[in-house]
Amino acid sequence: MGKRFETEILHGNKKNNSKIASKVTPIYQTSAFAFKDLDELEGFYHGNGQYLYSRVGNPNTDELGEAVARLEGAPAGVASSSGLSAILAGVLAVVKNGEHIIAADDLYGGSFHLLKEELNQFGIETTFVSFKNLNDVEKGIKENTKLLYTESITNPLLRVEDIKGVVELAHKHQLNTLVDNTFATPYHCQPYTVGVDLVVHSATKYIGGHSDVTIGVLTGREDLVASARSKIVNLGTNVSPFEAWLTCRGLKTLALRMKAQSSNAKKLAEALSHNPFVEKVYYPFEQEEDGFGAMVTIELSKTVDINHFFRSLGWVKIAPTLAGVETTVSHPLTTSHRSLPPEACEALGITNEVVRISVGIEHAEDIISQFEQAIEKSH
């Protein structure tokens, strides 16, 4: 990037193909694009035209993919219908039938299910290993291993990945890497710049930022993104122009939102770490002075009535997702990680008492007060 993050996020390449000097890219809400004659149509297939059919490409979806790629320091990006479809496209760009993936064992539950159940039906095997010790990861590498897959900050226990270590291990064994950067966002972390091959986002979360889209973005090496784009087109996991347009609009305030939300999250984490009815607070305190991400996960004391706690949160909504501007909570054991086997949840420490908090942009003292009151009422 030639500019600082806050400037780059606003002044990227706008996709406006009309002669009208619109300040923002118009919504190209069309299923197809018209041609003046058969020669022009044929020219598209020879690389002389940009757009044919919105499943294949659209100015709004292209703008989003390119914008996130630019913030990640990557040469290419593509948008898709959800974070999970972006993960699927990224995996299929690298791995095929008969090949093997090593994935972190503390992934988001939806990613775990995709890798363990769905892709396994197509002959792609995944071994789940703790990435806390990369020696254990190395021991799991097979002759047919093609990909190492992890998250920059894991969901829900907020372990910060040793991305450089993962990259070094991958290079040693000629493997590709795929990192889900949803929780950190490119505001805090750019995995591609330290050698990761593909970086994925559930842009439903912080990239969009306002809980009004379902969308994913994959960025990274040009050859792999091109392959992933082909999967998105041919498997029909494209995203609508309007969803992409909304996400581009939300992206413009990413730096402002992440700065405020991360600061609030750190203050909440610090406050709850002193609460006698909170057994453990998961937050990467050591990463940055002003906070590292807007997620806080806590483990409540068994003396706290978990149902009463959730009922006592007032304006803090219970939601099975995260990253809007409002503070919300979820119960990982019964939502995001319910697809994990009970023994896997127990091994990871995802118990009935674990609560995942997505911290918003409200005043920090109001957020803290709301959680302290709910805990006080529930023990």
**CATH number for the domain that contains residue 48:** 3.40.640.10
**Same-domain status, 235 and 282:** no
Q: Which residue has the tokens 């706690």?
A: 309
Q: Looking at the predicted structure, is the pLDDT value of residue 115 above 90?
A: yes
More confident residue, 379 or 327: 327
Which tens digit of pLDDT belongs to each residue from 72-96? 999 999 999 999 999 999 999 999 9
For residues 325 and 264, the answer to whether their CB atoms sit within 8 Å is: no
DSSP type of residue 292: S
Which tens digit of pLDDT belongs to each residue from 289-305? 778 999 999 999 999 99
State residue 273 phi and psi, 5-degree precision. Answer: -70, -15
**Same-domain status, 292 and 246:** no
In angstroms, how far is the first alpha carbon of the chain from the final one?
A: 51
**Same-domain status, 262 and 234:** no
**Same-domain status, 236 and 264:** no
Return the closest-CA partner of residue 371 out of 286, 267, 289: 267
**Same-domain status, 185 and 266:** no
Helices (H), 145-191: 163-172, 185-188
Task: Please name every residue paired with 235 in a beta bridge, in sequence order, or none if there are none.
Answer: none
**Same-domain status, 60 and 192:** yes
Q: Which domain holds residue 352?
A: 254-377
Domain boundary among 202, 231, 251: 251
For residues 241 and 61, the answer to whether their CB atoms sit within 8 Å is: yes
* Average pLDDT over every residue of 247-267: 97
**Same-domain status, 225 and 297:** no
**Same-domain status, 69 and 200:** yes
State residue 298 phi and psi, 5-degree precision. Answer: -125, 155
Helices (H), 13-123: 38-45, 59-72, 83-92, 109-113
Residue 134: half-sphere exposure toward Cβ, Cα within 13 Å? 15
pLDDT for 15:
72
- Length of the chain in terms of residues written: 379
pLDDT for 323:
96
Domain boundary among 251, 268, 300: 251
SS3 147: strand
CB neighbour burial string for 281-303, b if at least 16 within 10 angstroms, e if fewer: bbbbeebeeebbbbbbbbbbeee
pLDDT for 13:
64
Domain boundary among 251, 284, 300: 251
For residues 208 and 178, the answer to whether their CB atoms sit within 8 Å is: no
Mean pLDDT of the chain: 95
What is the distance, to the nearest Å, from the Cα of residue 267 to the centroid of all Cα atoms in its chain?
A: 23
* Average pLDDT over every residue of 131-151: 97
pLDDT for 21:
83
Q: Looking at the predicted structure, is the pLDDT value of residue 1 above 60?
A: no
Q: Which residues contact 83 (CB under 8 A, 6 or more apart)?
A: 180, 182, 200, 201, 202, 203, 204, 205, 215, 216
Q: Looking at the predicted structure, is the pLDDT value of residue 3 above 90?
A: no
Q: Which residues contact 78 (CB under 8 A, 6 or more apart)?
A: 61, 65, 86, 89, 217, 218, 219, 225, 228, 229, 232
**Same-domain status, 93 and 185:** yes
* Average pLDDT over every residue of 29-49: 94
* Average pLDDT over every residue of 154-178: 97
**Same-domain status, 203 and 346:** no
Q: Looking at the predicted structure, is the pLDDT value of residue 378 above 70?
A: yes
What radius of gyration, in Å, describes the C-alpha atoms of the chain? 21
DSSP type of residue 32: B
* Average pLDDT over every residue of 25-30: 94
For residues 120 and 97, the answer to whether their CB atoms sit within 8 Å is: no
| Residue percentage of the chain with pLDDT more than 90 | 86
pLDDT for 286:
86
pLDDT for 217:
98
pLDDT for 356:
97
Going by pLDDT thresholds of 50, 70 and 90, the confidence category of residue 125 is very high
Whole-number Å distance between alpha carbons of 225 and 231: 10
Tell me, what CATH number does 266's domain have?
3.90.1150.10
**Same-domain status, 151 and 190:** yes
**Same-domain status, 199 and 225:** yes
Going by pLDDT thresholds of 50, 70 and 90, the confidence category of residue 98 is very high
Going by pLDDT thresholds of 50, 70 and 90, the confidence category of residue 337 is confident
Q: Looking at the predicted structure, is the pLDDT value of residue 266 above 60?
A: yes
Structural tokens at position 258: 């992440």
pLDDT for 23:
87
Please state the domain count of the chain.
2
The strand order across the sheet containing 328-330 reads 278-282, 295-300, 354-358, 328-330, 317-318
SS3 84: helix
Q: Looking at the predicted structure, is the pLDDT value of residue 16 above 80?
A: no
pLDDT for 74:
98
